[in-house]
Amino acid sequence: MSAVVVVGAGIVGSSVAYHLARQGVPVTLLEQGPAPASGVTRDSFAWIGEAGGHWPGGAEDLRPYVLADHRRLEAELPGVTVRRTGSLHWADGPARDLRPRPGQFIVGRSDIAALEPNLREPPGQALHTPSDAGVDPAGLAHALVAAARAHGATVLHGTAVSAVRVTGGRVDGVLSSTGFHPAATVVLTAGTDVTALCEPLGVDLAVTASPATLARITAPPGLVKTIVARPDFEVREVRDGDLVMVVPYVEGATAPPEAAAHVALRQLRKTFRGSDQCLLSGCRTARRPMPAHGPVIGYATRDRSVYVAVMHSAVRLAPTVGRLVADELATGRPAPELRRCRPRAH
């Protein structure tokens, strides 16, 4: 019997499986899609950093470890590269709305022009976060799963879990499209689907699905140097000549997401010199798991047979979360860093 079955090979499940396998814990990772990162992870903007951004609930306690854990994975996993470009953020409103936190700096027009030499009209002021970076989210998930396998994990794709099975009042595994998989502990890392898998267990996680649109653009290499966040789009280069852009998602809009992507592309062309050749190569709207009160990580049932890990900004958090969850499951000792992330409903 596999000690731990992990359901869902997005960035969270891949990280949990890797860190468990690395500790020698027998683990089986089940993914309904044909490969890791079949869910929202593949469409992530994948901006990582510690200084700026939102850190709801217990996420704040994970903040100090984010960059170190990404650096560690970069060293541990072949082919994983963190693009350390820094970020520039500016708003339409007055510059006083930009409030630097430790590790962030207000920079003026000439510094902005030096950081982003292709900007047609650099703004007067922007927030610069030198430590911000980006990763290839699907590449990272694939590398984590490959390394989990190398450490002895069993990985099954095309395996959709329909239910957590309860026998004699205790969870003993999961039912799936490839049959029953026994487990002493089931870890649910199925993103937005965690809610439905928990419901029959009487566990309400208050996780909603929040749509967001990612556009992929082919561009001259080096057109965008940093991560640029403006009120109407965010853009960064993922590899030479390939950009990703977060495009505003309009709730209830009748036009397809490509329409919004074309509007953002026009804005990109207005913003960057030399961008006339930029072309839209793809665009998808994906549903991000969005817990109401920050990350939800911990045992969901009293008998400690079902464990959940679901959060927003999971690309940023997954290396740290995977490490802490695996420690907790392997040693039985609660991780103090996860104290404020515990599921509320038991």
Is residue 85 a contact point for ligand FAD (CB under 6 A)? no
Q: Which stretch binds ligand FAD (CB under 6 A): 70-78, 92-100, 263-271, 313-321?
A: 313-321
* Binder among 9, 126, 238, 265 for ligand FAD (CB under 6 A): 9
- Strands, E, within the chain: which ranges? 2-7, 27-30, 47-48, 87-89, 105-108, 125-129, 133-134, 154-156, 161-167, 170-176, 179-188, 207-218, 227-229, 234-239, 242-247, 279-291, 296-299, 306-310
CB nearer to ligand FAD: pick between 84 and 109: 84
Token pair belonging to 110: 């000439």
Residue 110 CB-density burial (10 A; 0-12 exposed, 13-18 middle, 19+ buried): exposed
| Positive or negative: CA dihedral 292, 296, 302, 305 | positive
Q: How far apart are the first and last CA of the chain?
A: 26
Amino acid letter, residue 204: D
Contacting residue, 4, 5, 6, 8, with ligand FAD by CB under 6 A: 8
Interface residue with ligand FAD, options 98, 160, 259, 263 (CB under 6 A): 160
Select 36 or 122, whichever has its Cβ closest to ligand FAD: 36
Burial track 63-81 (b if 16+ CB lie within 10 A, e otherwise): bebbbebbeebbeebeebe
- Between 80 and 214, name the residue whose CB sits nearer to ligand FAD: 214
Does residue number 321 form part of the binding site for ligand FAD (CB under 6 A)? Answer: no
**Options 77-85, 146-154, 281-289, 332-340: segment touching ligand FAD (CB under 6 A):** 281-289
Position among 73, 161, 229, 321 found at the interface with ligand FAD (CB under 6 A): 161
Residue facing ligand FAD at closest CB distance: 10
Q: Per CB under 6 A, does 313 bind ligand FAD?
A: yes
Binding site for ligand FAD (CB under 6 A): 7-13, 30-33, 38-41, 43-47, 160-161, 189-191, 193, 212-214, 246, 286, 288-289, 310, 312-316
